[in-house]
Amino acid sequence: MKPDLVEELRDYYEQLENIKEDALELTAPLQDAQFNWRPAPTRWSISECLSHLNLTNGLDVPGITEQIERGRAAGLTGKGPFRYGFLSRLFVRSMEPGAGFKMKAPKVYKPSPDQPKDKVVAEFISIHDRLLELISQSNGLDLARIKVPTFISWIKLSLGQRFALLAAHDRRHLRQAWDVRKHPNFPV
């Protein structure tokens, strides 16, 4: 935990730390065959769930980094609490597990099957460590005024809501991965 962060960023930091721990707990006992097992031909494996997060989050890092740098250069500072619009809050909530909103992953975010566990998990941890650094670098910035692109090119979210979206989307796919591991036919 980073106590020197503003409350909102401390919360995002803690959420991403918990997500990393959850991913490690999920994958630690698995062999590659279990990691890549699919409950059905059209459903993702644990590997594909985490690889999808590696793709989405990995592609998000440069845009977030750029907007943090621009915000700092422009002097967009603030201490919060920050307020966000209804639509951005709704968009973030739609990504939470169990929200009932489903969409097909765009082609650029579709994971490759049959990836080695060690490679996928190491990349997941590395990307999340970078996201934690970005949260720390955002301290003192106006999280509501700095806008960051999303995977839908015409939608930009405030920096604070962008971190919230990352965490919600991660939780969604980690739950999906846990559901695979809890499947009655999961190989043991």
Provide CB contacts within 8 A for 138, sequence distance 6+: 9, 68, 159, 163
Top-confidence residue, 127 or 80? 127
Query: Over the chain, what HEC string results?
Result: CCCCCCHHHHHHHHHHHHHHHHHHHHHCCCCHHHHCCCCCCCCCCHHHHHHHHHHHHHHHHHHHHHHHHHHHHCCCECCCCCCCCHHHHHHHHHCCCCCCCCCCCCHHHCCCCCCCHHHHHHHHHHHHHHHHHHHHHCCCECCCCCEEECCCCCCEEEHHHHHHHHHHHHHHHHHHHHHHHCCCCCCC
Top-confidence residue, 102 or 64? 64
Type of residue found at 159: L
d(CA 156, CA 109) in angstroms, rounded, equals 18
Give which of 63, 35, 51, 38 is closest to 110, Cα–Cα.
Answer: 51
d(CA 155, CA 60) in angstroms, rounded, equals 13
Lowest-confidence segment of 101-115, 151-165, 166-180 by average pLDDT? 101-115
d(CA 61, CA 123) in angstroms, rounded, equals 13
User: What local confidence, expressed as pLDDT, does residue 173 receive?
Assistant: 97
User: What local confidence, expressed as pLDDT, does residue 174 receive?
Assistant: 98
User: What local confidence, expressed as pLDDT, does residue 3 receive?
Assistant: 63
User: What local confidence, expressed as pLDDT, does residue 157 receive?
Assistant: 93
Domains of the chain by start residue, with CATH: 7-181 (1.20.120.450)
Type of residue found at 119: K
Task: Map tokens 């279990």 to a residue.
Answer: 34
d(CA 168, CA 97) in angstroms, rounded, equals 7
